[in-house]
Amino acid sequence: MKLYCPEEECGIFGIFGHPEAANLTYLGLYALQHRGQESCGIVSSDGASLHAHKGMGLVADVFGNQEIFKQLPGEGAIGHVRYSTTGSSVIKNVQPIMVDYSRGSIAVAHNGNIVNAQIIKDELEAWGSIFQTTMDTEIIVHLLATSKTSSLLERIADALQRIRGAYCLLFQTETRMIAVRDPHGYRPLCLGKLGNAYVVASESCALDLIEAEFIREIEPGEIVEITKNGMTSHFPFKKVAPAPCIFEFVYFARPDSTIFGKNVYLVRKELGRQLAREFRIEADMVIPVPDSGVPAAMGYAEESGIPFELGLIRNHYVGRTFIEPQQAIRHFGVKIKLNPVRELIKGKRVIVIDDSIVRGTTSRKIVKMVRNAGASEVHVLISSPPTSYPCYYGIDTPNRKELISSSHTVDEIRRYITADSLGYLTPEGLTQAVGTENTSYCRACFTGDYPIKFPQLRPEPQLGLFEKES
């Protein structure tokens, strides 16, 4: 059994101008492992050619042999950790994608999701393109290769003019690294420096691990080119309203990262404080669902004056799959990951704080586990509004009919998870906690208001596409 929670599909890391580029990229990916545990890969450049190593599994497993790094020479490298949102979980879909085309070799790593991918793929296939993967990322490579423009920067910009959706991209050629963030800036991407080398990463925690200096976030719609001559910045896209993903603060990003100008840990504590202002509950203790619920529970405890306790202990050594015993054990999937401290909980009124409820099945098992440990009352508080709509911008959430809050009231959900009370942070409270100075965050998973509209039906290929471009 898999405990369901939303999954971020990937993280990207790159460094240019350092003699240990591949080794440092390995460490960067290690810091970003929370963004994807399915597969990983690194492509390095020695100035004349590209070298790759990719595999299924965790970073430490795929790159567990030191001899691998002898096959990844050079002063430039990009890497990727993946959890699939488009394309199946197979070796051919492991990134970075590396190809040879008329202008040389190029590799690309992608974080996000292209909402018009199938339409473009149909058009390209109608004109004879052959795809080697089932990922939307490969479409970018085909568009780049078939662009009629001259320089690589122009080709990348031209290709991305066709793309609709969320993307942070890292390109690696023999002589340069290029980073791109989509005009809406859905996903985080930051720029750092280590000595004379430039570093790009999905989150600042990856810079911290290798002791790189955080310079700034890459701006929405910005293309950053890094060569031996230094860094240049370009803004080729039409300016649109930013829409950074607010759920990065709620769940996805590591708490020690700074994204969208704010520290994630401090935001999550403020989410908890705001919960305490909105829900005054008589209780003996506040316990988090680890790990993402911990800062919010601490904030709630500080604001309410109710003691914070680690009433649920997490086993950090659980893999993604395991063998279940033949004899049935109730709530086995939850119990292998979490275990209550009975002596602490017995006879107490407990507030359980989590970041979200998706299908509700895991919350139901946690509430029953806490109650079976002897709690006299179990109150559940969620540090975000109800997740009622799927994400189409790079998060693996179920379709809408599987999201419990899309078709059930709060009281119906409370009864299903068997809690004494249930409360969600209000949308206004979320805005207040994250910061009112920027109200343009993407909240589509809460509201259904998608900043980029997406095609519902797959039209016939437009065979005149390239004729119009020529």
Mean pLDDT of 91-104: 90
Residue ranges at the known binding site for Mg(2+): 292, 354-355
Number of domains in the chain: 2
In this prediction the pTM is 0.89
The overall average pLDDT reported for the chain is 89
Residue 372 amino acid letter: N
Domain-embedded: residue 201: yes
Q: Are 78 and 109 in contact (CB under 8 A)?
A: yes
Collapse the DSSP code of 434 into the 3-class scheme (helix H, G, I; strand E, B; otherwise coil) and give the result: helix
Q: Residue 326: what pLDDT?
A: 53
Which domain range does residue 359 map to?
Answer: 265-316+329-436
Q: Is 10 a known active-site residue? A: yes
Furthest CA-CA distance within the chain: 75
CATH of the domain at 83: 3.60.20.10
- Over residues 150-184, the pLDDT tens digits come to 899 999 999 999 999 999 999 999 999 999 999 99
The domain boundary residue, chosen from 243, 274, 308: 243
List CB contacts of 302: < 8 A, sequence separation 6 or more.
269, 272, 273, 308
Query: Is 45 inside any structural domain?
Result: yes
Q: Are residue 164 and residue 277 in the same domain, yes or no?
A: no
Query: Would you place residue 372 in the very low, low, confident or very high pLDDT band (cuts 50, 70, 90)?
Result: very high
Determine the average pLDDT of the residues in 451-463. Answer: 52
CATH code, domain with 374: 3.40.50.2020
Ramachandran bin of 86, using left for φ above 0, alpha for ψ from -120 to 50, beta for the remaining angles: beta
Residues near 383 by Cβ (< 8 Å), separated by ≥ 6? 250, 268, 271, 272, 275, 293, 296, 353, 354, 355, 356, 425
pLDDT of residue 436: 67
pLDDT band at 438 (very low <50, low <70, confident <90, very high): low
Same domain for 301 and 366, yes or no, is yes
- pLDDT single digits (tens) 22-79: 999 999 999 999 999 899 999 999 999 999 999 999 999 999 999 999 999 999 999 9
| CA 147/CA 157 separation, integer angstroms | 10
Q: Are 231 and 225 in contact (CB under 8 A)?
A: yes
26 CB contacts (<8 Å, ≥6 apart)? 42, 59, 63, 69, 79
Same domain, 197 and 286: no
Mapping DSSP to helix (H, G, I), strand (E, B) and coil, where does residue 180 land?
Answer: strand
C-alpha of 393 from chain center: 10
Q: Residue 450 domain-assigned?
A: no
Query: Which pLDDT score is estimated for 398?
Result: 56
Say whether both 269 and 137 belong to one domain.
no
| Domain match, 231 and 344 both | no
Range scoring the smallest mean pLDDT among 125-129, 200-204, 444-448: 125-129
Give pLDDT, residue 439.
64
Burial of 330 (0-12, 13-18, 19+ CB in 10 A): exposed
Same domain? 208 vs 291: no
The tokens 């859905």 sit on which residue? Answer: 186
For the cut 70, the answer to whether the pLDDT of residue 1 exceeds it is no
Catalytic residue among 5, 10, 168, 205: 10
pLDDT per position as a tens digit, 326-348:
555 656 667 778 999 999 999 99
Residue type, 383: S
Query: For 280-296, how does the pLDDT look when each residue is reduced to its tens digit (9 = 90+)?
Result: 999 999 999 998 899 99
pLDDT value of position 134: 79
Closest CA to 136 of 97, 103, 106, 188: 97
106 in any annotated domain: yes
Cα–Cα dist 122/112, whole Å = 20
322 falls within a domain: no
Feature table: binding site: 245, 292, 354-355, 391, 442, 445
The DSSP bridge pattern shows strands 377-382 and 421-424 to be parallel
Kindly state whether residue 468 falls inside one of the protein's structural domains: no
Answer whether residue 182 is part of any domain.
Answer: yes
Helices then strands, each counted (H, E), the chain: 16, 23
Q: Reduced to 3 states, what is the DSSP secondary structure of residue 345?
A: helix
CB contact set of 124 (below 8 Å; sequence gap of 6+)? 131, 139, 142, 143, 146
Question: Do 356 and 236 reside in the same domain of the chain?
Answer: no
Distance (Å, whole) CA 323 – CA 258: 38
